[in-house]
Amino acid sequence: MQIIENSKVKEKAYIEKLENGLTVIVIPKQGIQKKYAIFGTNFGSIDNKFIAPKEQEETSLPDGVAHFLEHKMFEQENGTNSLDVLSALGVEANAYTTNDHTAYLFEATDNFYEALDELMNYVQNPYFTDENVEKEKGIIGQEINMYDDDPSWRVYMNAMKLMYKNNPINIDIAGSIESISKINKEILYKAYNTFYNLSNMAFVLCGDFEPEKILQEIKNRITKKDKQEEIKRIYPQEPEEIVEKEKTEKLDVNNPLYAIGFKDKINNTKDIVKKHIAIEIILYMLLGKSSKSYKKLYEQGDIMSQPDLDYEFSKQYAHALITGIAKNPQNVVKVLKEAIKSYKENGLCQEDFIRVKKKIYGEYITEYNDVANIARMFLADYFKGILSFDYLEQYNQVTKEYAEQILNELFTENNMVVSIVENS
């Protein structure tokens, strides 16, 4: 078992890759009552074309299969629903699908091992029938319609469509009513057997655990399966340039919503963590609560709260995103452009850079106070090829000069898109 220690947060990660290919990561938190378990597969909404191991032919899945599969995993052959079983045990259970992975999880203070039994049983034993698949189409169809009417989701998806021409990140994670109509039990079993092999999965646990003991408990609950060869994932070629600069859509909203995106080059190098930190610093310097731009927009009455500032990336896409609510989104765009231009011409203010950098470091540290944050972070980062401790280790490598280099490369007019949803 590999032990990686981070002295800054005084935490250890115990990592073991089992013979069947499953990676288990344990982050012990002594004296903490809550225990968190998350079982994930490296299969998300963008993984819809692939060549399965031992096959030569390409398989194409309808949009929304990863999400559909996540919904169906809880239904068991004996007629029970695993979410209900877990709730009856008094644990908080859930699941989610992202662009690049799917995860099943629970948080418990009591009945942890009974919940672990249920989690590992239902994730390893799917049960799909023609009837239960058809029934689910109606449920997911309602969810798709609900998201279609959600202004915050629409403004986000429009930004993805403005940035990405071919990458399936521009398609709703749940798919469309049309695409899910093509899903049947055979498609679900094909996706499950390909992507839910343990060699494509990871299990992360955080809480008051003895690493060797909990590892043995995981091994005891694993269904014996052969280790699988690599899945050949097929992704479309994505041009570096954006598709379109701007889109405004009209919906029933009190105040307009906006999403400002900056499309980045795919970066699978070891520098991705360092780059991510630099981009977070830049975003906060541009429109964080303590920035001049935020103060100006707030005093003008254009925005009432700090926008969400994110850098989203995987091995197949990357972009910076600023989202929020504004009386006049075009004024936010104007002030943002002025701030970018000023920083490019005059350089980042050293004092502000250090202050924001310290703030972000503080946020990294506080993430280690919560077992749920830790476990979800380690799982998501693992599928990106990162160890979460890397953010603390590489923090000091981010200099003002490096951040200025990233500012000049990423925050350009050519890379920039603006999505707005305003009142109809």
Q: In what order do the strands lie in the sheet with 246-251?
A: 246-251, 416-423, 257-263, 318-325, 308-313
Locate 4 and state its tokens. Answer: 């990686």
Nearest to 103 by CA among 117, 81, 119: 119
Task: Report the run of H or E that residue 246 belongs to, with start and end.
Answer: strand 246-251
Locate 260 and state its tokens. Answer: 């400002």
How many angstroms separate the Cα of 211 from the Cα of each of 106, 214, 295, 327?
A: 18, 5, 48, 52
Distance CA 247, CA 256 (A): 13
Q: Tokens 């490369």 sit at which residue?
A: 409
The helix/strand/coil state of 4 is: strand
Decide if 412 contacts 405 (C-beta within 8 A). no
Q: Which residues of 89-126 are buried (b: 16+ CB within 10 A; e: fewer)?
A: bebebebebbbbbbbbbbbbeebbebbbbbbbebbbeb
The vertex-261 CA angle with 259 and 262, nearest 5°, equals 165
| Active site (catalytic) residues | 70
Distance CA 400, CA 368 (A): 26
Name the burial class of residue 392, with classes exposed (0-12), middle (13-18) and buried (19+) by CB atoms within 10 angstroms of its CB.
buried
